[in-house]
Structure 1
Amino acid sequence: MTGHKRTDRVGDQIRMEIADILMRRLKDPRVGFVTVTAVDVTADLRQAWVYVTVLQQGPQEAETLAVLARAEGFIRSELGRRLKLRYVPALTFLKDTSLDRVKRVMTLLDQVRPQPAEPKDDSREA
């Protein structure tokens, strides 16, 4: 169980450092407003999946993810300077779809939720 706690701690540290790198060090204008929402790390700390949300939707979102994938080497080298790890994990940037799933579930719940009945207005009948 202690291994999972370590991977969680390392994932959180990587998340914070990548967010800082994207904000302060990555100067590519094609990278708009990006939020690093989560990082999953393998038990051997060799691979990390970085989940991001991008403010722009559509083609700009895909371009931002492609730019992040191309900048993986630069981001890894920055992580290597900041983290005290034997190996800096390989990074894979993925779109975080959790907000989309939450919106979809909320929409489905709204559709199946019974609508409140309209109160009868007895004052008209009198």
Structure 2
Amino acid sequence: MADQARARRIAERTKQLVTQGLAQVVKDERVGFITITDVRVTGDLQQASVFYTVLGDDADREVAAEILEAYRGRLRSFVGKGLGIRLTPTLEFILDALPEDAQHMDDLLRQVAARDAELAAGRRASEYAGEADPYRKPRTEEDETGAPGA
């Protein structure tokens, strides 16, 4: 079993090589804007999970998945030549859901901010149900006689 530092270095280098391979090896005009976001290599350096995102709609994502699947062997060969290690890890391409999750969180935060603004506006327009200062105060001479200083 390899140490974790070596696995991280190989994962980072694999990420760079897959990105280069997309530009050099993949010769498909249908390929869109594919971004490699992360690569994770197993501890035994046998498998690499490559996470990617695609700029576009669901049809673009499906086309990108087909292209990556079709060029998996060529990309693995390209990565193997660039890594220079005895065993080249197998590549598994996984669509990264991070951008969609981030968009969903942004939408939720906008809704919360709008609701907070509504509540703040309601607070500014509201008045106390009773007196402005509902707390008891110690009695003074004015309270006893009704006139100041008498």
Specify the TM-score bucket, using the shorter chain as the normaliser: 0.7 to 0.9
**Is the Cα–Cα contact under 8 Å of residues 25 and 74 in structure 2 kept in the other structure?**
no
Q: 2:116 matched to which residue of 1?
A: 115
Could you say what the CA RMSD is over the residues aligned between the two structures, in angstroms? 1.8
Quote how far apart the aligned CAs of 1:42 are: 0.5
Q: 2:27 matched to which residue of 1?
A: 27
Quote how far apart the aligned CAs of 1:56 are: 2.3
Q: 1:89 matched to which residue of 2?
A: 89
**Is the Cα–Cα contact under 8 Å of residues 52 and 93 in structure 2 kept in the other structure?**
yes
| Structure 1 unpaired stretches of 5+ | 121-126
What TM-score do you get using the length of structure 1 for normalisation? 0.84
- Distance in 2, Cα, partners of 1:25 & 1:71: 8
Counterpart of 1:115 in 2: which secondary structure?
Answer: helix
Quote how far apart the aligned CAs of 1:102 are: 1.5
Q: 1:45 matched to which residue of 2?
A: 45
Quote how far apart the aligned CAs of 1:106 are: 2.4
Instruction: Look up the equivalent residue of 2:67 and give its one-letter code.
Output: V
Quote how far apart the aligned CAs of 1:110 are: 2.8
Quote how far apart the aligned CAs of 1:16 are: 0.6
Runs ≥4 in structure 1, deviation > 6 angstroms?
A: none
Q: 2:54 matched to which residue of 1?
A: 54
- Equivalent residues in 2 for 1:1-16, closer than 5 Å: 3-16=3-16
Quote how far apart the aligned CAs of 1:24 are: 2.4
- Distance in 1, Cα, partners of 2:80 & 2:8: 18
| Structure 2 unpaired stretches of 5+ | 126-150
Residue-pair matches, total: 119
Normalized per residue, the structure richer in helix is 2
Quote how far apart the aligned CAs of 1:21 are: 0.9
Counterpart of 2:44 in 1: which secondary structure?
Answer: coil
